[in-house]
Chains A and B, each alone.
Chain A
C-alpha cells in the first residue's frame, strides 16, 4: 500500500510559549549546564543578554508543542505506536531570554517510504515577540512497517 502523502505542505496553528527564568534553570539543572548566564540575571546582563538566557537546545521546550497536533493529525495518518525519532536538525538565530514570547509554526515538509519504513519530516519555525527568527527545526520521525 502506498504511503499517504496528502499532508505534505500542511501547516498547523501557531503555538505560543512564554519563556520563564525558572524553566530555563530547570532545564539547565537536568542537563548539567552550569554557566551563570542561565541562572543569574546580573551575570546574563553583564554578558550582553536582556535577561537569563536559554541554552540552544532549550528550543525543544518551546517549539515541540507546535508539532503535537501534526503527529496525531488524521491527514498525516502516522502510526504513533511504531514511531521512532530518527533525526533532528536545529538552526539557531537570535538568543532566547526569559520574558520572550516565542511563536512556533509547524509544517509537514516530506512524507516518503524507503525500505518498508515511512519517513515523516516536519519543520518548526520559531520567532520571538519582535518577529526575529530564533530557531528552525527539522524533525524526522520514522515509522516501521508502513
Chain B
C-alpha cells in the first residue's frame, strides 16, 4: 500500500504471546519486575496472574505501524505516543488495529488501539510515520 487516505484502516496485527514471552521480554529489555514473571508474586499484589509488559504491547503497536506503512522499515516510525489502560496477559490474543487520521503523501498519522478480548490495553496511540518514496 503506497497511498493512504484519512479513514483507511491499517492491516491488523494479531499475536498470541506464549506463556514464556514475559520472561523473554524481561531478558531482552532488562525489566524484571516480578509482576511480569512470577505468577505467585502477581497474585500476592492483587493481579490475576503474570501480566505482559506495557512496553512489549507498545512494541507490537510500533511493529504494526511500520509493517502497514513502510513494509517494516525501521526508519519509518518518527513518533509514537500511547496511554496504557488495561492489563494484558500471555496466552490470549492481542489485536492491534488502526486508522489513518492524516496523510500528505510523505507522512501519515495513525490512531491505533491494542485490545485483548474486551479490554483496551493501549488506546489513544498516535503514530507518525514517514511514507517511503518508491
Contacts and interface: CB of A to CB of B under 8 A. Distances in A.
B58 A61 contact: no
A91 interface: yes
Interface residues of B, number: 30
Interface string A1-33: 000000000000000000000010011011111
B63 A31 contact: yes
A86 interface: yes
A65 B29 CA distance: 10
B6 interface: no
Interface of B: 15, 21, 24-25, 27-31, 54-56, 58-60, 62-63, 66, 72-75, 77-84
Contacts of B78: 91-92
Given A32-B63, A55-B62, A95-B74, A64 B80 contact: no
B66 A56 contact: yes
A33 B59 CA distance: 10
**Secondary structure type dominating chain A contacts:** mixed
Contact of A86 (B60, B74, B79, B83): B83
A90 B79 contact: yes
Contacts of A42: none
A38 interface: yes
Contacts of B60: 31
A116 interface: no
Contact of B54 (A33, A53, A88): A88
